[in-house]
Structure 1
């Protein structure tokens, strides 16, 4: 029997444990770690990656929001052209009396969105409307007997997803009005007029207008534009969302009106913060705008004269970087740069002034 087996059988087999000195043991048991320089390098790399990644993620999210915004404009364009296919005219931006050539709902102030609800797959909502009821801007003049007394309260309180741009997350609580970010272009007149003026937009304030009236071309005339909603409160106005009261007087030229609006930019009082809080109301205060102020310009929106915002300068504004989206009268959607020349922007806002601005804007 071998020595190993003999020792194993007799229990005399012993295991040798290697000797480890105290110095070697401390070296073996010492915890490893980073030096300060290594730590700073790692922190710097993380910061660099974050500085690249975070803006890219934010840009991707904004691109998605902008795409949704553009799709909303396309849906509204399809609804407007569906209305035209039925009635051979575009709806009016506000109501008018029932006489030849005019919309039958004068001073009821029903917006374009209200009139095209059936074309937005909202027939059930449209069927609830009582067109004999008045439509006033209750944000400015609440009725003495309460909002709930209006027979259209349920309809006007409904939120329409197609009317809201997700990039405008800072808009105020819309309350009963539902909120709206898309507006009808009324041209370059500060006062919505009954006159069949070539300086109007493709949709008029009080008169139904056929596509043929847009002699500058449907693809060269803007029908809908973006507009930021008001903050619905606040001690200091935001010049990008508030409507300032422009004082007394009736300046009729665009430049005179613009000058009065600029004078109000830093005013601490005399302003409205309820702009765009209702898709239901057809006024410059909510669902209409004009083409005097350039997109995202520092010039504030302004009511001329002071009072209920049915007359004034309301510009196109958005939270998209560098511009706003607009729907042309042919239904296509383009991105308009904030740096567009004022005369070009105004030309895109008129329907028959023979001031065609071709090739402007990036197709979406």
Structure 2
């Protein structure tokens, strides 16, 4: 086409080659931008997770200010079958210090978490401080151990075996034993008296089997044990109080220490838990795997698949639950490892209330030493 001056006119626009080049450049820019956006989102989630852990650390300190000790890891209840059931545990004790006093008034919640879950909807009540936004299981998650495949707990209003998630775990130390220093036989014995701190008074119990738990293994939260600041002789800034405990399909469970097979009885059981759940799995539920609100450093941070929390009852339940040996020393029990959805490691709240990110490649000796309250070790770094 010619204009009036006799010169050829050209339409403005892109050629096909130019268009393809522009599309390719945009694709490259988007490819560079998306990881940055995802990284920024993860940084925000990690900050929220850290804030939640700080809130939990503050709740622990406020509890200690009132009761002159940290909450008991779990408060056991001796039953006629010889089993020491978990009556209540540390997370329930912290409810008033997490602005959840009304929930602690729910019938049975302080004496029978299982009964409270069956008779109310407290098991489905989400605790914001218990939720890490990076974790994939939550805020409500199914827990096979207490669902259709295992025991049965149903909220009365909905009839769904689903629990408000718990993405953090109280540190038991290195020990993965589920031992107590008194049982029903002690309760029935003459002179058995519980002191004000919840422990049997001196001389009123028969003593551990293969125990007590060595100081080099004991953490801040164990069965029937309340720890005071004065007992954390390794230093509050060197001692784990709680760590992350992610769940969901990315974190399947396996049975027992050093386990590597994420398939159990032909199924995968995610390491889901609920803040109300105190009980580990046991031989009464042989077909499912489970975990609870406790973790230990027997195995490395972010071990995959996650070791289950399991109480081996054996033929003599009373004896098994008095066996304080960790799995490293011949014990038959296991406690889940800490795990986190944050890349490269996980966060822990220390006994002094601070929060630190710990690399998953941390030296195992340092990692284990950091989880005990009175091992006498020198912790130089995390």
Pick from 360, 370, 377: which aligns with 1:338?
360
Matched, 1:178 2:164: yes
Separation of aligned partners in 1, 2:45 and 2:110: 38
Give per-residue Cα distances to partners, 1:185-218, cap 9 Å, x unaligned. 1011121233453111112222112122211111
Separation of aligned partners in 2, 1:280 and 1:269: 26
CA contact (8 A) 2:127 2:164 kept: yes
CA contact (8 A) 1:245 1:305 kept: no
The within-5 A match list for 1:188-207 is 188-194=174-180, 195=212, 197-198=214-215, 199-207=217-225
Separation of aligned partners in 2, 1:20 and 1:334: 74
CA contact (8 A) 2:87 2:110 kept: no
More deviation, 106-115/214-223: 106-115
Q: Counterpart in 2 of 1:155?
A: 122
Separation of aligned partners in 1, 2:108 and 2:262: 42
Q: 1:125 to 1:335 in 2, by over 3 A?
A: same
Structure 1-normalised TM-score?
0.73
Matched, 1:166 2:183: no
The within-5 A match list for 1:133-152 is 134-136=112-114, 150-151=118-119
Separation of aligned partners in 2, 1:184 and 1:326: 10
Q: Counterpart in 2 of 1:49?
A: 29
CA contact (8 A) 2:277 2:293 kept: yes
Separation of aligned partners in 2, 1:169 and 1:132: 29
Matched, 1:286 2:292: yes
Q: 1:170 to 1:278 in 2, by over 3 A?
A: closer
Pick from 110, 115, 124: which aligns with 2:102?
124
Q: Counterpart in 1 of 2:66?
A: 86
Larger helix percent: 1
Q: 1:73 to 1:266 in 2, by over 3 A?
A: closer
Give per-residue Cα distances to partners, 1:142-183, cap 9 Å, x unaligned. x9xxx97x33x2222211111010001355734542110010
Q: 1:352 to 1:295 in 2, by over 3 A?
A: same
Matched, 1:77 2:54: no
Separation of aligned partners in 1, 2:234 and 2:59: 22
Pick from 84, 88, 105: which aligns with 1:110?
88
Separation of aligned partners in 1, 2:267 and 2:311: 12
Q: Count residues with an aligned counterpart.
A: 298
Separation of aligned partners in 2, 1:48 and 1:353: 54
Matched, 1:244 2:254: yes
More deviation, 44-53/271-280: 271-280
Structure 2-normalised TM-score?
0.70
Cα RMSD over matched residues?
2.9
CA contact (8 A) 2:104 2:110 kept: no
SS at the partner of 1:336?
Answer: strand
Deviation of 1:131 (Å) = 4.6
CA contact (8 A) 1:94 1:108 kept: yes
Deviation of 1:358 (Å) = 2.6
SS at the partner of 1:319?
Answer: coil
Q: 1:268 to 1:95 in 2, by over 3 A?
A: closer
SS at the partner of 1:96?
Answer: strand
Deviation of 1:276 (Å) = 3.5
Q: 1:54 to 1:230 in 2, by over 3 A?
A: closer
Structure of higher CA gyration radius: 1
